[in-house]
């Protein structure tokens, strides 16, 4: 198995995400404070640490929904951790408890950065790249809760557009070669088809199924399967 990178290398890889993640945290803090009070949003960012799940649950609570509906909305966003966890799992180290702890580092950007493109994943990059995002997410939430009324509209600076741009940069590097390009096109089409009506979380989870076209690659001693 290829050697894992140093965690410091991962931290450097994750640094460009610190600013947009901070702004994401501020946005969450500003929106959550009137609904949840001042302490709960920060605790949530610290122990849930999943932006998509937190925004989904907040949307339900802000609309007057109960905890069951809010939990369900949040868990819909979590579905994609299952296939992503399956992909990175074999490259984490230690016993089950240690690997479960390392799985906390699983977030979209770090997952993509840690992908080597040959099906293997770099543990040092995964964990290292998550650290600056975790610090930025939690401190951003605290900043949003405290300074929300003074900050004005965080969307005015367009910083929310930095996430799709970041993912597009990684995609341009990942989607080289016929199969990766087709998987990307498949994932984009599935997301595009489902976004208009599927519940939040479902389009991105379903899009991961496009990776199954990998089964069409002929492998010695195995029946070729067409996707």
Residue listed under structure tokens 């080289």: 176
The least CB distance from residue 66 to other proteins, in Å, is: 6
Residues with Cβ within 8 Å of residue 111, at least 6 apart in sequence: 84, 87, 88, 121, 126
The least CB distance from residue 85 to other proteins, in Å, is: 2
Packing angle between helix 18-36 and helix 162-174, nearest 10 degrees?
Answer: 140
The least CB distance from residue 143 to other proteins, in Å, is: 18
The least CB distance from residue 187 to other proteins, in Å, is: 3
Q: Which is nearer to other proteins, 149 or 158 (CB)?
A: 158
The least CB distance from residue 86 to other proteins, in Å, is: 5
Rounded-to-integer distance, Cα 16 and Cα 174, Å: 18
Residue listed under structure tokens 């979209």: 108
Closest C-alpha among 176, 184, 193, 192 to residue 213? 184
Q: Provide the terminal-to-terminal Cα distance of the chain, rounded to the nearest Å.
A: 28
Q: Which is nearer to other proteins, 88 or 143 (CB)?
A: 88
């Amino acid at each position: 198995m290829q050697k894992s990178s140093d965690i410091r290398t991962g931290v450097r890889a994750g640094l460009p995400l610190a600013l947009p993640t901070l702004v994401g945290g501020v946005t969450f803090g500003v929106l959550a404070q009137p609904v949840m009070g001042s302490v709960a949003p920060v605790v949530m960012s610290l122990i849930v640490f999943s932006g998509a799940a937190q925004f989904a649950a907040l949307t339900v609570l802000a609309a007057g929904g109960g905890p069951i509906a809010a939990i369900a909305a949040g868990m819909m966003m979590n579905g994609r951790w299952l296939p992503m966890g399956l992909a990175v799992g074999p490259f984490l180290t230690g016993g089950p408890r240690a690997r479960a702890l390392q799985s906390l580092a699983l977030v979209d950007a770090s997952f993509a950065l840690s992908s080597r493109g040959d099906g293997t994943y770099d543990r040092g990059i995964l964990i290292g790249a998550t650290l600056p995002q975790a610090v930025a997410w939690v401190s951003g939430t605290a900043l949003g809760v405290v300074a929300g009324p003074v900050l004005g509209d965080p969307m005015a600076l367009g910083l929310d557009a930095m996430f799709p741009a970041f993912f597009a940069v990684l995609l341009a590097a990942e989607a080289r070669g016929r199969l990766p390009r087709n998987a990307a096109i498949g994932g984009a089409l599935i997301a595009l088809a489902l976004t208009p009506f599927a519940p939040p979380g479902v389009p991105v989870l379903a899009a991961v199924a496009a990776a199954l076209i990998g089964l069409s690659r002929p492998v010695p001693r195995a029946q070729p399967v067409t996707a």
